[in-house]
Structure 1
Amino acid sequence: QRAILSGLPLALGPRRLSFNADTISNDSTTLHVFGVDSDSTYLEKTLCPGETLVLDGTPFGTSFLWEDGSTRARLPVIQTGRYQLSVFNGCEPSQVFFDVTEGPLIDIEFPQDTIGIHLGEVYPISPTLTNLGNTLELVWEGPLEEALSCLNCLAPAAKPLDNTRYTLRAANELCADTLHVTFLVDKSRRIYAPNAFSPNRDGRNDYFYLQSPDFGVIHSFSVYDRWGGLVFQSSESEMNQPQSGWDGWKMGKPVPEGAYLWTAEIEFIGEIMEVFSGEVAVLR
């Protein structure tokens, strides 16, 4: 003896068989289905000055409706305030409220983003920092970090040997800002050698010496008379030092007026060796 159950919820199928002998042949039952209470979620978000904040609803549902009519899962915002999102999972919609407040301002300014320097030159980087937060973290990054005097200070001195781009990241407890500075390094070597000097020991223009704004070491410096005779020679001396040059004397005696030839072998930063030569006149 079988009983047939009908009028069941769709999830159980249109009919079911029952072998229970006590099942009555015909009975009716009223089934009440109650909706799921709508949930509300409140989230706090921080919008940093000058930036765009993206509000993300994907963790809360599969279909979305923002209060402005947008049906995307994510909503970019540039203003503070409360943003309401309705999310759907097949039952009653849930509400998500994003309370967006402004974060503490942090801003870095520097008048130049590209700086040209000569090889060996030291350039002080001095940005202007505005920080309304309670904390501050500074980090400089770049391929030639060893050329910076410090990596966690605001104003390091830079001495890059190649073209380099440095990035400063400044952050407080909630917001951050970045600054990019590019150095273009001129690697041409500049040497100045006067074409005349007067070695009369009056304290003015008494020495013939090599000058340069670039760092370098003179490995050898020689002066010859017009017959090729060596009248002066020095080694491992510094540029820009009068006493390291020639005083116009040879073996304790002043050389005669006239033209003299000179040659110098100089090593610059980066182990770059160059040879220079020229002519200088002795005036009495």
Structure 2
Amino acid sequence: YTINEPAPIVVVLGEPVPPICFGDPGLITIDTIYGGAGMAFLDYSYSVDNNGLFLPANQPATVFGQSHIITVEDPAGCHQDASIDIPQPAEIIIAMDDSRVVELGDSTTVNPVVSPFGTYTYEWTPEDYILNGVMSQDITIKPFSSQEYTLTVTNPDGCTATAKIFIELDANRNVYIPNGFHPDGDGDFNDEFRVFACTGVQAINYCRIYDRWGGMVYQQTEIPPVCEGGSKLWDGTINGKRANEGVYVYLIEVTFLDGVTLVYRGDVTLLW
């Protein structure tokens, strides 16, 4: 009476279907099994990485990119292991700032760095305030409101990565109005009442100046905004004659690039 030892279980794995993109699953299959107590291919089952779930031999298994152990079981409960390496595609990584502050009227250029090196397409959303188009890797933004932008990068296989940057608008109202002037003819900035309208100012709509009794002594409209040196307004005269020294009241309306219009009210002292 002879007890025959079953032939060893032989496992031949099929060519794996690797994942196309980082984090996507691939597929593994079993091409051939024989030996052990099995008589036909479907007599066997298998599990992946000893997860306790046994699949029919003809059913593909979904796996992620890494090394895996395939355990084949025959009808008698005998096991045979085989190993397989599933390649993991490189992850697309976008490196850029999370946020940036931009002063009203200024612009900023965002320069994302994408790795690994390769050919990509780029798309930014939304398109608001982007000066050079949404399909560029580097973009220049001139914002009139705070906005979050999303960059989507796609490689030739259709794999994508996204990153976001928040552009915060610093709506600083860059308007300076002196509280006095001294028109002595020496050629300095004090010879006229001026308004200094700098970055972010679109237009000075009007300037009106009143004496202490409410009489208008000066009016000008559509004044070009000037930062360096300021926009020249009143020279201190009324109908070509010197106005009395004293305190006058001004109203100056300014429109900014983001559409906000403000009226500045205050006092200015005239000294001869």
Instruction: Give the TM-score of the pair, scaled to structure 2.
Output: 0.68
Confirm whether residue 126 of structure 1 aligns to residue 108 of structure 2: no
1:265 shift after superposition = 2.1
CA distance, structure 1, for counterparts of residue 108 and residue 264 of structure 2: 28
Contact 2:202 2:255 in 1 (8 A): yes
- Which residue is equivalent to 2:145? 162
Provide the secondary structure at the position in 2 that maps to 1:147.
Answer: coil
Cross-structure match for 2:250: 262
Q: Alpha carbons of 1:272 and 1:98: their partners in 2 closer, same or farther (altered >3 Å)?
A: farther
1:42 paired residue number: 15
With over 3 angstroms needed to count, the CA separation of the structure-2 counterparts of 1:226 and 1:130, relative to structure 1, is: same
- Indicate whether 1:232 and 2:218 are aligned: yes
Q: Where does residue 196 of structure 1 map in the other structure?
A: 180
For residues 129-156 of structure 1, give each alpha carbon's deviation from its aligned partner in whole angstroms, at most 9, with x where no partner exists.
44422x22111112xx131112111221
Cα deviation for residue 40 of structure 1 reads 4.5
Tell me which of 129, 132, 148 is aligned to 1:147.
129
| Rounded Cα–Cα distance in structure 1 between residues aligned with 2:173 and 2:101 | 15
Using the alignment, how far apart are the partners of 1:109 and 1:246 within structure 2? 53
Of 147, 154, 161, which aligns to 1:171?
A: 154
Task: Check the 8 A contact 2:195/2:233 in 1, yes or no.
Answer: yes
2:87 maps to a residue whose letter is T
Report the equivalent of 2:261: 273
Q: What is the Cα-based RMSD across aligned positions, in Å? A: 4.0
- Deviation of residue 105 (structure 1)? 6.3
Paired AA for residue 279 in structure 1: D
Cα distance, 1:222 vs structure 2: 0.8
Matches within 5 A, 1:93-108: 100-103=86-89, 106-108=92-94
Q: Does 1:250 align with 2:246?
A: no
The answer to whether the 8 A contact 1:232-1:246 is kept is: yes
Contact kept, 8 Å, 2:99 with 2:165, in 1: the verdict is yes
Could you tell me whether the CA contact under 8 Å between 1:238 and 1:244 is conserved in 2? Answer: no
Q: Gapped runs of 5+ residues in structure 1?
A: 1-36
Q: Distance in 2 between matches of 1:243 and 1:44?
A: 71
- Determine the structure 1 residue equivalent to 2:26: 55
Which is greater in Rg?
A: 1
Check 1:201–1:109 CA distance in 2 against 1; reply closer, same or farther (3 A cut): farther
Alpha-carbon deviation of 1:98? 6.7
Quote the Cα distance in structure 2 between the aligned partners of 1:130 and 1:249: 67
Instruction: Assess, with a 3 A threshold, how the Cα gap between structure 1 residues 64 and 38 changes in structure 2: closer, same or farther.
Output: closer
Q: Which residue of 1 aligns with 2:37?
A: none
Taking the aligned partners of 1:99 and 1:203, their CA distance within structure 2 comes to 82
Contact 2:130/2:140, CA 8 A, preserved across alignment: yes
In the comparison of the two structures, how many residue pairs are matched?
237
Partner Cα separation in structure 1 for residue 23 and residue 176 of structure 2: 55
For normalisation by structure 1, the TM-score amounts to 0.65
The percent of aligned pairs where both chains have the same amino acid is 26
- Mapped to 2, the partners of 1:69 and 1:105 lie a distance apart of 27
Q: Which whole-Å CA distance do the structure 2 matches of 1:199 and 1:57 have between them?
A: 89
Amino acid at match of 2:253: E
